[in-house]
Structure 1
Amino acid sequence: MPRITPKAVHQLLELRKLRSRRADETLRVRQSAIDKSDAAIEAALTILRTWRQDRPRLEREIYDLLIGKTVALNDLEEAKAKMISLHDHERLLERRLEEALSETEQARQAREEAYNVARKAYRELEKCDNLVRALNAGPL
Structure 2
Amino acid sequence: MLHQAEKDLSRAGGGDEPGRVWFFGEASLAHETAAALRDLGDLKSAGHEFRRSVETCRAQFRRTRSVTLGYLAEVQIQQGRLDAACDAWDRALGATAGVRSGRPRETVVQMRRSLSPFRNRVGAATDLGAKARAVLGVG
User: Per residue, is there more helix in 1 or in 2?
Assistant: 1
Higher relative contact order (CA 8 A, sep 6+): 1
For normalisation by structure 1, the TM-score amounts to: 0.27
For normalisation by structure 2, the TM-score amounts to: 0.27
Q: Which has the larger radius of gyration?
A: 1
